[in-house]
Amino acid sequence: MEARFNFTDAEFGRQFFRKFGAAALSLYEAPLAKTVQELVKIRASQINSCAACTDMHTKDALASGETQQRLNLVAVWREATVFTEAERAALALTEQGTRLADTRGVDDTTWEAARKHFDDEELAALIALIAVINAFNRFNVIVRNPAGDYTPGQYA
């Protein structure tokens, strides 16, 4: 399977990704636990049916020491006992922030749970991460980027 379009073959696409990618790189320095970051990226990618991002972020998470059991349970995190309360708050915010048309935004209960577990700097990073991964998901889904060939750290 091949992508239907290579966004970076177009001059505008290259320029856009340079600038967008630079903004996204700031998340590597974000004051948010890397475990939480990977869980958020995986869950948003699952919801958006982004195979390329799901492949990438599950492999990166495994390479960073995440367990296979927890990765297997991300999609059903509400019924799993392996996630902390902070991770659950981040996953709930991710789901509502990803499914805006379905949820009509983030409800007060979900927001208060996030506020309870994350300080202002962490919350700013979490919100930015949710927005960025949703944007990357949309690029990949629109052009049908295939999954399976990613090597951990390939784009670092």
Q: What is the DSSP string of 91-106?
A: HHHHHHHH-HHHHTS-
The residues spanned by each domain of the chain are 32-143
Q: What pTM value is reported for the model?
A: 0.95
Domain 32-143 architecture: Up-down Bundle (1.20)
Structure tokens at 9: 């073959």
Q: Residues 81-131: pLDDT tens digits?
A: 999 999 999 999 999 999 999 988 999 999 999 999 999 999 999 999 999
Q: Are 131 and 48 in contact (CB under 8 A)?
A: no
Place of tokens 């919100």: 127
Neighbouring CB atoms inside 10 A of 133's CB total 26
Give the Cα separation of 70 and 72 in Å (integer).
5
What pLDDT digit, counting tens, does each position of 25-60 carry? 999 999 999 999 999 999 999 999 999 999 999 999
